[in-house]
Amino acid sequence: MSGAGGAGAVDLDAWPHVFEPGDRDAPVLLTLHGTGGNEQEITALVPHLWPGAGVLSPRGRANEQGMTRWFRRMGEGVFDVDDVIVRAGELVAFVAAARERYELGDRRIIAAGFSNGANIGVATALLHPETLDRVVAFSGMYPFADRDPLGDVSAVELVLLNGAADPMAPSASVDRLVEVARAHGATVERHVRPGGHGLAQSDVDAAREWLAAR
């Protein structure tokens, strides 16, 4: 069965993903794995973030030396920005197709991503706020390098959860994300913990509190 019709439609049967409906009065969490991860393992986060939430968990479709990713990069921390933009558009089409197939109606979809998944979640919200307007970004960074392709993102709310000494998502890049997103109207909350790249219990706790407030 194909997804939503029209330009940019995707075939959900050709895009590996997990869907669990959860409670009808709860949001659906769009879980986005990190480099080398998959659509199955990231779903374990959901009960810790919003018990009863639905789960929509696609697999990244880029490949780097056998590792699954969301978009291409030229080196560590050096993203192919054109590919980021294209892949964000593909994720929008995936969400539209899933909303139709799984009859999600007006249920809110909130992204929760780790590392590379956080980056594609942030990129998608900042480029397509009409599709995705809330993102929990664990160990993410600014996904557009030295470019600023954004319009009005005043509907977008981001929570950024990072380690202070993360070489893979440097504080300078997170600073840039905060600056650019806020300049275009987004609401951004930032939490910084000691340590580096990863997902700490304090990150999960802060994310759960942030979600509960919404």
Tell me the catalytic residues: 115, 166, 197
User: Which of 90, 77, 21 lies closest to 54, judged by CA?
Assistant: 21
**CA-CA distance, 107 to 72, in Å (whole number)?**
31
116-127 and 171-183 are packed helices; what angle lies between their axes, rounded to 10 degrees?
20
User: Which of 134, 127, 179 lies closest to 158, judged by CA?
Assistant: 134
**CA-CA distance, 123 to 126, in Å (whole number)?**
5
User: Which of 161, 150, 79 lies closest to 120, judged by CA?
Assistant: 79
